[in-house]
Amino acid sequence: MKPDIERLIDGFEPPPPPPELRSRVLAAAHARMAADDVTDMWSTIWNNRGIRLVWAGAAALLLAGHVFLVPWNGAVPSRVDPDLVAENHVDEQFVDLLCPIQISENVQPIVGLFAAGDGLTELDLEGNLL
Amino acid sequence: MTDNLPPHYHEPEGPYRPAADDWRDLFADLAAGRLAVLDELYDAAAPRLYGLALWKTGSREDAADVVQDVFVRLAEQGARLVKVRNPRAWLLTVTNRAAIDVTRRRRSRHTEPLEECAYLTVAADDNERTLEGTQVSALLASLPDTHRVVIYLKHFAGCTFAEIGAIIGVPKFTAASRYRNGIEKLRKLMEGRDEA
């Protein structure tokens, strides 16, 4: 037999939801379902286990390829030859811009090219060769 | 908002409950994209969900917001609903979490204390019972919401302690202990009231 307090509670009911709540809730839920019908590409990818696996596999493959197939020779990029810069009257600010992105191995021919073509005046406003 | 939804797997425990199976059919229909089922599911589930939200938040407005939030989350699930093994427990879990979110938001806004709300009603017009219900509601209001929710789930949602534990995220022994403590506190409050 249940104790008094439990029997007392059993004799009541929790209040029902207000009648106007039904239409409000169903409208919101239907609107959400309708919005879901137009799923974007990212949701499709996220919700599809197969595509997620392929995505993760591709990322892992790229990472493994980068780690195992691209040997790091430990070489520190050399600076642009200062004599070349001075000799060709190349703007030093231009050389300083290129050095931090570690393409100085390639900078020297670029410096030579621009020097031969009278410096940066050979570039248009968007940086293309004229 | 707590975005984590409960796992779709809720192993039913205890005696066979046709209601849970019916909701499973409704969930399967919803997962298949039959939107009309949403109305039927609202009629079947909303009273229990609203009751739980009300007992958790102590506010009719917040409880209504919680029910709306639960049905929107339900709509977001789409085809994944087919994986839900125990829709009743799943819905109650989502409701409990949404109610926790609403309560946290209300506390963070430092809003005024809630007016006393009726946790219990009487079906028929019976003034004496209505008065008694109001008095028990006042006693329930003095309980911590964690205890109140367990009493609700046990008495009005027909859950086992294992299910209650899964719904509120505690071991079943903790759920049982909260229930006993809650009932004991209610009994003491009632004795104090009767003596007064």
Query: Which ipTM value was assigned to this complex?
Result: 0.79
Residues B134, B93 within the same domain: no
**Domain extent for B186:** 118-196
Q: Specify the pLDDT at position A25.
A: 94
Q: Identify whether B133 is part of a domain.
A: yes
Task: Map out the domains of chain A as residue ranges.
Answer: 19-69, 82-122
pLDDT digits (tens, 9 = 90+) for A43-99: 777 778 888 899 999 999 999 988 887 666 665 555 666 776 677 677 777 767 666
For residue B61, report the phi and psi dihedrals to the nearest 5 degrees.
Answer: -65, -45
Q: How far off is chain B from A56, nearest CA to CA, in Å?
A: 22
Residues B102, B150 within the same domain: no
Closest CA to B117 of B147, B96, B140, B95: B140
Dist. CA B62–CA A105, nearest whole Å:
66
Residues B125, B33 within the same domain: no
Q: Identify whether B169 is part of a domain.
A: yes
Q: Identify whether B89 is part of a domain.
A: yes
Residues B35, B92 within the same domain: yes
Q: Which residues of B touch chain A, with CB atoms under 8 Å apart?
A: 35, 38-39, 42-43, 46-47, 50-51, 54-55, 60, 63-64, 67-68, 71-72, 74-76, 78, 118-123, 129, 132-133, 136, 151-152, 155-156, 183, 186-187, 190
pLDDT digits (tens, 9 = 90+) for B21-59: 568 888 888 888 888 888 999 999 999 999 999 999 988
Please tell me which of the candidates A5, A21, A33 has its beta carbon nearest to residue B35: A33
The answer to whether the CB of B63 falls within 8 A of the CB of B119 is: no
User: How much helix, strand and coil, in percent to the nearest 5, is found in chain B?
Assistant: 70, 0, 30
Dist. CA A95–CA A108, nearest whole Å:
9
Q: How far off is chain B from A27, nearest CA to CA, in Å?
A: 9
What would the mean pLDDT of B107-112 be, rounded to a whole number? 64
**What's chain B's average pLDDT?**
83
pLDDT of A32 > 50? The answer is: yes
Best B183, B188, B191 member to test A by mutation, with max A CBs in 10 Å, is B183
Give the domain CATH number at B164: 1.10.10.10
Cβ–Cβ of B74/A29 closer than 8 Å?
yes
Q: Minimum mean pLDDT among A36-40, B49-53, B54-58, B164-168: which range? A: A36-40
3-state secondary structure (DSSP) of residue A129: strand
Dist. CA B154–CA A61, nearest whole Å:
52
Give the residue from B96, B117, B138 where a domain finishes: B117
Residues B19, B113 within the same domain: yes
Please tell me which of the candidates A4, A14, A33 has its beta carbon nearest to residue B120: A14
Cβ–Cβ of A16/B39 closer than 8 Å?
no
pLDDT of A115 > 60? The answer is: no
Confidence of residue B167 (pLDDT cuts 50, 70, 90): very high
Dist. CA B139–CA B137, nearest whole Å:
5
Q: Specify the pLDDT at position A112.
A: 56
Q: Minimum mean pLDDT among A94-108, B34-48, B99-113, B118-132: which range? A: A94-108
Please list every residue in chain A whose beta carbon sits closer than 8 Å to the beta carbon of residue B152: 14
